[in-house]
Amino acid sequence: MTEQKQTSGRRVVTNMSLSLDGRYAAPDNPLDMSWVMPYAVTDVSRDHMAGLRESATTALLGRVNAEGFLGFWPTVIGMEGADPRDEAFARWLVDTDKVVLSSTLGEAPWERATVVDKPTAEVVADLKATEGGDILVLSSASVIKALLAADQVDRLALTIFPVFLGGGPRLFDDGLPTGQWELVRQAAGEHGTLALVYDRVR
């Protein structure tokens, strides 16, 4: 199995962590990600993220995820005992261009970030018309759902964690456009963590 090379234009790459029963958040508290933590710090998860950011030059986030990611990750830089892969991701996130989708934020409180209040599909079409590397969507479920519905995802990256949440929101809604995906990368690691990367076949 060989990874496909990008042929033209910018790819939209989405990344999400899912439970084995297909949920991205617990039913009682969607903001509680404690179920993710034992698996997010495994080698397979860290290497998975490193592989995604290598070719990405823009991060696309919803407001809630932007506040969470950009509130936490910059604190990892220089943190004693930090894994070098975590620190590298933190530096990438700080230094890269960020687009935050929000109808409530007036302006971005973060460096190298732009707030946009437009439909997701339109924002991505505008980004794909510019020069640059991959557009990486980091765990923002509402953004990823909109892009899947519009068939704008070129690379779908998932980490599957071996837990049942027993309820909560699903990433893949009924009614998505039919289509085929090719598995281009897979890795299994500690605690049964599974990292998968699929490319959209067009």
Give per-residue pLDDT as tens, 62-108: 998 899 888 899 999 999 999 999 999 999 999 999 999 999 988 88
Residue 5 lies in a domain: no
Cβ atoms of residues 165 and 85 within 8 Å: no
pLDDT at 5 over 60: no
pLDDT band at residue 8 using 50, 70 and 90 as cut-offs: low
Q: What is the DSSP letter of 59?
A: E
Residue 93 lies in a domain: yes
Domain that holds residue 98: 12-201
pLDDT, mean over the chain: 92
Total of domains in the chain:
1
Helices (H), the chain: 37-40, 43-53, 63-72, 84-95, 120-128, 141-149
Q: What's residue 68's pLDDT?
A: 87
Residue of 5, 24, 8 lying closest to 16 (CA atoms): 24
Residue 7 lies in a domain: no
Q: Which helix (H) or strand (E) holds 201?
A: strand 194-201
Residue 148 lies in a domain: yes
Residue 135 lies in a domain: yes
Residue 111 lies in a domain: yes
What are residue 91's phi and psi, to 5 degrees? -65, -40
Q: What's residue 1's pLDDT?
A: 44
Residue 31 lies in a domain: yes
Give per-residue pLDDT as tens, 146-175: 999 999 999 999 999 999 999 999 999 999
What are residue 55's phi and psi, to 5 degrees? -105, 10
Q: What is the CATH number of the domain that holds 66?
A: 3.40.430.10
Residue 186 lies in a domain: yes
pLDDT at 6 over 80: no
